[in-house]
A and B are shown apart, each in its own frame.
Chain A
Amino acid sequence: MPGSRPATAKVESVVARPGVNAPPPWLGHAKRIGLGFAPWVVLIALWEMAAARGWLQMSLFPPPSAFISYAIESDLKVGFGREAMSLPYAIVASAYRVLAGLAIGFLFAIATGILVSMSRTASLAVLPIVRGLAPIAPIAWIPIGIVVFGIGNATAVFVVFTGVFFLLTLSTVSAVQSVDSRLIKTARSYGASPRQVWTHVIFPAVLPQVFTMLRLNFFAAWMAVLAAEMVGLKNGVGMIVILGREMFNGNLVMIGICAIGVTGYLIDSFLLFLQRNILWWSDRGAL
């Protein structure tokens, strides 16, 4: 309001010394990891309490205290006699299958996607097939896998491969088209031949986008492995759940579920690690 006394603000001094009173960085990390565990701790505590109070049927939903001690008592082995399989081995077997399938699928998809983008004929010949086969769920490929590869690792790897290959090929083709034209023009301006543009510009440019697609489809691929294991193969974490169900062993079912979750989480973390360190130029992996 004109005429009234002006308000005054007076600042004596402000000293900004970033980092002097800041907490040590490891504290931040510890807090974050701790916070990550917190919801689980609460859930497990509630679970134990519910089981102890008899609100949950022990045979169906044994709490961690029950199934973990069961696992330890069985020497971390599942099954009987000759077919007994160790839990760590099962985890490694499933992890191996999904990673092998992902790797092979990824490499073939990049190769196919780039080759298809280079040639009109190749694109007309290959793309309709890829687009037609892409919607087929990996589970549907299991019977074909068993017929071709028999019952074993190869089938599981094949099933994961089909789960990611078609999708990633389409993703590669799309990524090739969206490479910034300025990068291509710059390369050509500096004397890159058309072939060099493909190897030195387009190939590295599409990797992050296609890898992100791979990560997003990891869970589907993981489920494909589990399906293959449940249906035909005799080992792996998928089989543990089925075994538990067939034997009416609630502990085994829980162990299986737990193993599936933890292993899946660890592999996803590994993929994230790859994205951040091998594809250092892509987005910092917000997922």
Chain B
Amino acid sequence: MEALRNVSFSASTGEFVALLGPSGCGKSTFLELIAGLESITHGDITIDGVRITGPDPNAVMVFQEHSLFPWLNVFENVGFGLRMKGLSGEPYEFLVRTVLDRVKLGRFAKHYPHQLSGGMKQRVAIARALVSEPAFIMMDEPFAALDFQTRFLMQQFLLDIWTEFRSTILFVTHQIDEAITLADRVLVFSAGPGRILEEVTIALPRPRISTKPDFNEYRTRLTDLLEQEVMRAHALEMTA
């Protein structure tokens, strides 16, 4: 089953790009391809013309859940990437401490994942991604498993952090409001095989209020696009 076909787009450094689309449209696969965690069956995947052959610590992946190592505490989890690079001792401790304080998890440094709530676990996962200051951070629906309030707070948290660390973020979501709240640009994916249907630039200043009319315009536009696409995909399925 073909998951993706002819996808290409460009992103500027430090841009926040959302990948929006119906379930099963290949957006998660696309993310893993960029992260070097999946391999292409046909064709090439390149970043700036350079072929991706495997995972690269410069492009880290944040999953929705179960990505923290249960046998390591918060401090050790966050410092994992640095450890893999061979860092240790004073510089290592300092970097991890700094990031932990920045995400307000300093108090929980010795806690283990099973002692944390869902939102806190994701904060640890994001802290872990940030600490090595990668060029790209891929996020696969990182807040989908959280309840509404926690998700709202985590979105604000992410925006806050991102203005400081400024990695390029590729953020997969199926929630339209989330895409509009967070992203500079939204790539709307078609149903499988995935391709980019449309690119919508969100020209709203942050912080974005979801109840205001300009926000609603984007919501309407994206909802129409998605609904059309879902109907089309469903019709295809029925006739297949």
**Chain A residues near B (Cβ < 8 Å):** 180, 182-183, 185-192, 196, 201, 204-205, 280-281
Min CB gap B48→A, angstroms: 19
Q: Known: A191-B57, A280-B112, A281-B114. Is A186-B85 also a contact (CB below 8 A)?
A: no
- Chain A interface, >50% SS class: helix
- B218, CB-defined interface residue at 8 Å: no
Q: Known: A183-B66, A196-B84, A281-B114. Is A189-B61 also a contact (CB below 8 A)?
A: yes
Expressed in whole angstroms, the Cα–Cα distance for A188 and B59 within the complex equals 11
Contact present for A189 and B35 (CB under 8 Å): yes
- Chain B interface, >50% SS class: loop
Expressed in whole angstroms, the Cα–Cα distance for A190 and B83 within the complex equals 9
Mark each residue of chain B from 23 to 58: 1 if its CB lies under 8 Å from any CB of chain A, else 0. Answer: 000000000100111000000000000000011110
Expressed in whole angstroms, the Cα–Cα distance for A192 and B85 within the complex equals 8
Q: In the assembled complex, which residues on chain A have CB atoms less than 8 Å from the CB atom of B56?
A: 191
Expressed in whole angstroms, the Cα–Cα distance for A189 and B84 within the complex equals 10
- B63, CB-defined interface residue at 8 Å: yes
Expressed in whole angstroms, the Cα–Cα distance for A183 and B81 within the complex equals 13
A-B contact pairs, 26 of them (CB 8 A): A182-B63, A182-B65, A183-B66, A183-B67, A183-B69, A185-B32, A185-B37, A185-B61, A187-B69, A187-B80, A187-B84, A188-B37, A188-B55, A189-B35, A189-B36, A189-B37, A189-B55, A189-B57, A189-B61, A190-B57, A190-B80, A190-B81, A191-B55, A201-B69, A205-B71, A281-B71
Q: Known: A189-B37, A191-B85. Is A204-B71 also a contact (CB below 8 A)?
A: yes
Expressed in whole angstroms, the Cα–Cα distance for A43 and B63 within the complex equals 55
Which chain B residues numbered 7 to 27 have a C-beta less than 8 Å away from chain A? none
Expressed in whole angstroms, the Cα–Cα distance for A170 and B96 within the complex equals 39
